[in-house]
Amino acid sequence: MLNILSWNIQQGGGSRTLKIASYLTSKNPAIIILSEFKNNANGAQLRAHLMKYDYVHQAVSNASKDLNGVLLASKHAFNSVLYTDIDPKFSHCVVKGEFEAFDVYGVYLPHKKKHSLFEFFHANLGETPAIIAGDFNTGKNYIDQKGNSFWYTEQLAKLESMGYLDAFRYKYPDAKEFSWYSHQGNGFRYDHSYVHESLLTIVADCYYDHDAREKKLADHSPMFLKLG
């Protein structure tokens, strides 16, 4: 079984960094994707902690220390690809790991801001099957939220027409779960794992750990994708 954990750790972790690090290593996934990772002192502390637990293969998106980026850390070797020109403002929101069997894209897509990152995926997902995981900051209106305020739903639909499916919805078609809540108590499922259809036969499970959010380790629930 190969486990992939993706999680928005909320503004780089801050004073929660050590608790976040302990949580990650206690779950012992093979691959970790962290959204809202910051390449600052807390980020360095988190990366060093992961190194001690055999996450020796790491890549950080091309973000300055003040920007929210993405960390990809793995116990398995991969070729990393960082981006500088896939979007005028948000190239640092994607990092790619080329593994032996498939590619993994870690993402932190901007919230309600104009970007061309979905167009990047539409144009560049090729013959190698891929997994796209992280905080998409969008979803399906009336399904992944009660209302209809999501942007980029059409781009998600195009991704699905290309053979990339929401692994959580594949396993739990009728589930009503949310990975983030507003101060007003409104739930949103922002965090996703989109998997190429050729990999669906090995998707054993896909679920959220809401306990970590409820304990205030971060304001998003970690997501687990189990392949086997």
Q: How far apart are CA 85 and CA 44, in angstroms?
A: 25
CA count, 13 A, side-chain hemisphere, 83:
23
Domain boundaries, the chain: 2-227
Which residue type sits at 178? F
pLDDT at 102 over 90: yes
Torsion of CA 82, 87, 90, 93, to 10 degrees: -40
Average pLDDT of the residues of the chain: 97
Structure-token pair, residue 148? 């209809």
Mean pLDDT, rounded, for 49-70: 96
Rg over CA atoms, the chain: 16
Mean pLDDT, rounded, for 45-59: 98
Decide yes or no: CATH 3.90.1150.10 for domain 2-227. Answer: no
Distances (CA, A) of 161 to 97, 107, 212: 23, 20, 33
Q: What is the pLDDT of residues 167-196, one digit of tens each?
A: 999 999 999 999 999 999 999 999 999 999
Q: What is the pLDDT of residues 147-157, one digit of tens each?
A: 999 999 999 99
Model pLDDT, residue 127: 87
Mean pLDDT, rounded, for 63-73: 95
